[in-house]
Amino acid sequence: MGKFQGKVVLITGASRGIGAAIARAFAKEKAFVIVNYLQNKEAAEQVVSSCIELGGDAWAFQADVTSEQAVQGMIEQVLLEMGRIDVVVNNAFKPYIFNPDDRKMFWELKWEDYQSQLDGALRSTHYMCQAVLPAMKKQSQGSIINIISNLVERPIVPYHEYNTAKTALMGYSRNLAAELGPFGIRVNCVAPGLVYPTDASRFTKEDMKEMIIAQTPLRRIALPEDIAGPVLFLASDWSQFITGQTLIVDGGFVM
């Protein structure tokens, strides 16, 4: 019997990387997984196939989560088909390349750079949370998990616009947890360190990776799969009395 049998889990940006790993982990526990993606239909369909192979059920759904209309449409469709949404994982973000040598310095940044990251992290999460709220209130339960970054605790490289957006998302999540607690809805964050391999980290230099490994008590860099377990924990009844928290998943790096 899977831990998430009969549960409907929606993961944004789930066609690759961390999102895909989270989707597969939920499927393994028998969840019905909605694999949201922006453009790569083929990759999303592959994630769906692997979810089904792992014993869960899954469905790919294209929607630009920075569009309020697209998000409303997706949630309506899912509720029409499934009748419920138990877990939402806000994992989608505006593409960002983690390359210390190629980042914009603070004095080169325009406000638009911040705005595009805020749209990718905060605006998309806001639309998702507002859209699922009526269904979760009706169920008197739900778990929302927002993926942020351990950079909020230790900006080892000042990726200004990316980290400002993720820090804003942490504050947003805490306010939401305070507001939605009385309805039985929990809101938490998972903050990974550098995760490799993903599209965002493929340009991270070897010396940077080695420096992070040397400062990480568990002496390695996270794999996408390492992020899935903590997300499942926060989505499950094992964490039924946990809300407003940020779980840092980085092998002890920011400790």
Residues with catalytic roles: 162
State which amino acid sits at residue 6: G
Rounded Cα distance, 199 and 179, in Å? 35
CA distances for 218 relative to 31, 213, 214, 253, angstroms: 30, 8, 9, 8
Q: Is 249 in contact with 193 (CB distance < 8 Å)?
A: yes
Angle (CA) 80-130-242 rounded to 5° is 100
Rounded Cα distance, 253 and 241, in Å? 26
Q: Is 207 in contact with 113 (CB distance < 8 Å)?
A: no
